[in-house]
Amino acid sequence: MGQQYSTAYKARIVQELLREEKTMGQIAAESGVHPNQRGRWKAIAIQGLPSLFDRRDATIDLKAAHEQQITDLLCGNRTPDHAGGLA
């Protein structure tokens, strides 16, 4: 079984790859990680990038909904239902 790397270490290597400030040879010499493995990590990171923005957008939408619920409660526009939401 091969070396196990932490997610933080993988992220650091991918960041170096994406910055393109060092050659692949320099990164290989410093990290000791096989080029195929670095390529897989980079592909995984690039594939996952859109989900980072999706989660942020979902958080913003959820926050806005909660703020609206609070405003409605404070203004007496709605009353909470028994399930914890607003009726």
Q: How many domains does the chain have?
A: 1
Q: Is residue 87 part of a domain?
A: no
Neighbours of 78 (CB within 10 A): 14
What digits encode the pLDDT tens for the residues 4-45? Answer: 999 999 999 999 999 999 988 898 889 998 888 998 999 999
- Per DSSP, the three-state class of 16 is helix
Q: Is residue 86 part of a domain?
A: no
Distance of CA 80 to the CA centre of its chain: 33
**Domain of residue 47, residue span:** 7-75
Cα separation, 51 vs 55, in Å, equals 6
Q: Is residue 23 part of a domain?
A: yes
Share of the chain above pLDDT 70, in %: 86
Q: Is residue 2 part of a domain?
A: no
Q: Is residue 84 part of a domain?
A: no
- pLDDT given for residue 87 in this prediction: 53
